[in-house]
Structure formats: C-alpha cells, structure tokens
C-alpha cells in the first residue's frame, strides 16, 4: 500500500520541522553554555575576594563570629589550613590554555 502525496509531504515537512527545532535548541544551548559558565566563575571569584577582604578587616574574635555566621547561612564553609593539606598543580589539560587566554583578555 502506497501513501498518498499528502501524507508523504506531511511526513517530510514534519521531519524538516523537527530537525530544525532540534538544531535550534542545540545551537542555543551551546551558545549559552560558555557565557553562563564564565558568569558563574566570576560570581564565585567575587565571593572569594569579598570573603577574603572581610576576613582581613576584622579582629580575631569578630573573625570567628564572621566564620560561624557564614557557615550558618550556608554560603561557605571555611576551614583553616592544616599542615597535612596539599594542593596539586593545575593539570595541563583542556581548560588550562583556554582559561589562560580568557583571563589575559580580561585584563
């Protein structure tokens, strides 16, 4: 049984419309992903810088109170540096060169 010209045209137009919508959504998602990541990274950096400045401006007792209040609010949990803590250098994988170029452009 063959399909009529109407149904073949309907199926073809449906496929084209569905493919166009799929391509549109994928394009918007990929174009929005990088700016959103950059915005969130800048917000985290601003939060770290603000916390560092606040901790540098207060005395010892107020510093403990500030750390407790930040922990209770749930914004961040700051722990003192322990002698057993270690930090690994940043890997030379994909994000490093891209991030370095982006940071140099921002200056």
| pLDDT tens-place string over residues 29-66 | 888 877 888 888 888 888 888 888 888 888 888 888 88
Alpha carbons within 13 angstroms on the beta-carbon side of residue 102 total 12
| Predicted structure pTM score | 0.47
Q: How far apart are the first and last CA of the chain?
A: 68
Q: Which residue has the higher pLDDT, 29 or 74?
A: 29
Q: What is the DSSP string of 32-88?
A: HHHHHHHHHHHHHHHHHHHHHHHHHHS-HHHHHHHHHHHHHHTS----PPPTT---P
CA distance 48 to 69: 16
Place 21 in a pLDDT band, splitting at 50, 70 and 90.
very high
Confidence band for 16, pLDDT divided at 50, 70 and 90: very high
Other residues' Cβ atoms within 10 Å of the Cβ of residue 67: 19
CB 78 within 8 A of CB 67: yes
pLDDT at 93: 61
Q: Mean pLDDT across the stretch 70-86? A: 77
Q: How many CA atoms lie within 13 A of 66 on its CB side?
A: 14
């Amino acid at each position: 049984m063959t399909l009529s010209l109407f149904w073949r045209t309907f199926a073809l137009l449906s496929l084209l419309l569905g493919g166009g919508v799929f391509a549109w959504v994928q394009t918007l998602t990929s174009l929005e992903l990088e700016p959103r990541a950059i915005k969130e990274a800048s917000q985290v950096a601003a939060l770290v810088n603000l916390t560092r400045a606040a901790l540098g401006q207060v005395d010892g007792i107020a510093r403990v109170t500030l750390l407790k209040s930040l922990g209770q609010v749930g914004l961040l949990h700051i722990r003192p540096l322990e002698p057993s803590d270690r930090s690994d250098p940043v890997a030379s994988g994909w994000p490093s060169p891209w991030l370095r170029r982006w940071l140099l452009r921002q200056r």
